[in-house]
Amino acid sequence: MCGIVGFTNDIGNAGSVIESMMDRIRHRGPDAEGKYVDDDIALGHRRLSIIDVTTQGDQPIFNEDGSMVIVFNGEIYNYQSIKKVLIEAGHVFTTNTDTEVLIHGYEEYGEKLLDKLRGMFSFVIWDKNKKELFGARDFFGIKPMYYAVMGKTFMFGSEIKSFLEHPAFKKELNTSALENYLTFQYSVGNETFFKNVFKLPPAHYFRLKDGKISIRRYWDVDFAADDAPSLDEWVTKISDTFHDSVKAHKIADVEVGSFLSSGVDSSYVAAVADVDKTFTVGFGNDEKYNEIGWAKGFSEAIGKENTSKVISPEEYWDSLSMIQYHMDEPLADPSAVALYFVCNIASQKLKVVLSGEGADEIFGGYNVYSDPDGTLYDKLPRVLKRGIGSLAEKLPAKRGVNFFVRKGKDVEERFIGNAYMFTPEQRKKLLRITTDAPDPTSVTKPFFNKVKGKDDVTKMQYLDLHLWMAGDILLKADKMSMANSLELRVPFLDKEIMSLAEKIPTKYRVTHDKGTDETKYITKYAMRLAAKKDTPEQTAKTAAKKKLGFPVPIRVWLKEDKYYNIVRDSFVSNDAEQFFNTDVLIKLLDDHRNGKADNSRKIWTVFIFLIWYNVYFNNNGKY
């Protein structure tokens, strides 16, 4: 695991600039650094040594004749089998790294190399003869890749903050990103919060030649249910494929550990991986916010060492500026801070951990997936439900009312992902500025168009795989682990697992529990059965427990004087007045404190943006 940076060279001090950019991401690779600079390109690399930990693995790495050079962030789990074929084809290797397999593979196959890879990656190859830059990002977006065009300069990197060191970089806020962030809670789409800075989308590659960039998709999810296998057969297939993925994800020349909560995903990973160490964090002693007891019991049952930490409110709040610095863009997911701390305690004992990200999106695990056609109300005529929903929208938002609003809309109208903070109408009232941000449905429409004719569960999964997972789940996984110089691997997010999961019928992803009332649904049904099969009998109850998902007591803290006042001061600051109608912000805060509404997540979304803005625009990317 590493960090990469680079730019097309049209400046006289490229060597010192690339070093400054590398220094900005030193946390991604504290073990070694390397650079390549010529009249056309500057490439930089920071290394966290995982495979071939000798200096032979240092980057950049060249092909045989030195005509190509690569910088790479990630892990290729099947590199040894690809290497064998390349050696038979006549390629000569000088290291035992997966990095060198990529550059020789690109020589041999061009962009078709991407079809052969199994892993997480973002890499860039400079072809000196063609004067061409080629870059690619992995299938799911596990590893980040940002790029910017500033005048005649093209720059790229694992983190946006490295761009701040380049003399051509012009820092401007992208206000359109702000408006959509207020709805999604993360930076959605390919634009970022910085004008002219973009994300290379997952499963895409780019070519840059003669100042022109072309971007192409090379892979996509294809849900096509296969009704032939029985449920038991699917369970066996999941078990076999997951065992194989975990085995591949454990390849390393250093020790591998595992994160562990009370949920099925991380319990399944820990049980199958058979690692020696597990890591858990929580808040206080309330089981609503603390999974440590469950995790310790599970670890003891499978004979593993568990390290845990209770995060104090002071630690949580004091870390927010640092967290947003590492995130590059504001992310209002409260669990990001908990993830930072569990990465921190793991990094004190090892360099690599396994984690359960991706299982919900791939196997159908979110509670919202059980919503379609789950009640007698769903049997009513569509026109009647839409009418009731329209009336309900005029009432104050609350749990019962929201049910009728939701049921009155098609999934394409109501679902934008697991978080829906401010509606377009609400964010217009909140914002003092005017932007050209599109409506949320315009953002989601291209993805829903790809799964027309599919059932609602599949539609929601497809959307989450492309937006929520890349924009929230994997963003925080990469940035929080790398902030602690820790490699985080996600065995559920494997191309072979996805190839299997996309064929599982919806009834085996989300199913009706006939043993209870008719509205009771079980998510990740087939995967849960596979996990039960692979989990020791004495821990089956633990492995089946509903995951809390790093629950954070934000709603409680915001009612306490200390934290209420911290947020209030932020909401009446000059920064807040620049972007927001502060009277609306204060009402949200006071209504929450007085128990009139649970506005905690909306408050947090605005508050986190203001913290991020202070770090990057008032303090020039320092915290």
pLDDT digit string, tens, across residues 23-70: 999 999 988 899 999 999 999 999 877 666 665 678 999 999 999 999
Looking at residue 284, its pLDDT comes to: 79
b/e burial code for range 188-226 (CB count within 10 A of at least 16 → b): bbebbbbbbbbbbbbbbbbbbeeeeeeeeeebebebebe
Please give the domain boundaries of the chain with CATH numbers for all domains: 2-217 (3.60.20.10), 222-552 (3.40.50.620)
Task: State the catalytic residue, choosing from 1, 2, 136, 473.
Answer: 2
For 152, residues 6+ apart whose C-beta sits below 8 A from its C-beta are: 8, 10, 168, 211
Active site residue 2: yes
Percent of the chain with pLDDT over 70: 92
DSSP 113: G
Total Cβ atoms within 10 A of residue 376: 8
Q: What is the pLDDT of residue 110?
A: 97
Among residues 622, 24, 558, 613, the alpha carbon closest in space to that of 330 is found at 613
**Alpha carbon distance 510, 371 (integer Å):** 10
The rounded distance, in Å, linking the Cα atoms of 102 and 86 is 10
Q: What is the pTM of this model?
A: 0.93
Give CA separation, 117 vs 106, 138, 203, 409, 466, in Å.
Answer: 11, 9, 12, 41, 20
Please give the pLDDT value at position 543: 44
Residues of the chain with pLDDT under 70: 1, 50-56, 285-289, 371-375, 396-399, 512-521, 537-551
Residue 211, both tokens: 């100042």
Task: Name 53's Cβ contacts closer than 8 Å, sequence gap at least 6.
Answer: 31, 253, 254
How many C-alpha atoms does 420 have within 13 Å on its Cβ side?
A: 17
Question: SS3 letters for 508-539?
Answer: HHEEECCCCCCCCEEECHHHHHHHHHHCCHHH
CA–CA separation, 44 and 30 (whole Å): 13
Quote the tokens at residue 107. 């020589």
> How far, in Å, CA of 397 to CA of 535, rounded?
42
Are the C-beta atoms of 246 and 270 separated by less than 8 Å? no
Residue 2 CA: distances (Å) to CA of 31, 57, 470, 492, 513? 9, 12, 19, 21, 45
How many Å apart are CA 519 and CA 512, to the nearest integer?
Answer: 8
Return the residue matching tokens 């909401």: 571
- State residue 335's pLDDT score: 93
Residue with tokens 């020791």: 536
pLDDT in tens, 449-485: 999 999 999 999 999 999 999 999 999 999 999 999 9
- H or E element in which residue 148 lies: strand 146-150
Strand partners, 2: 47
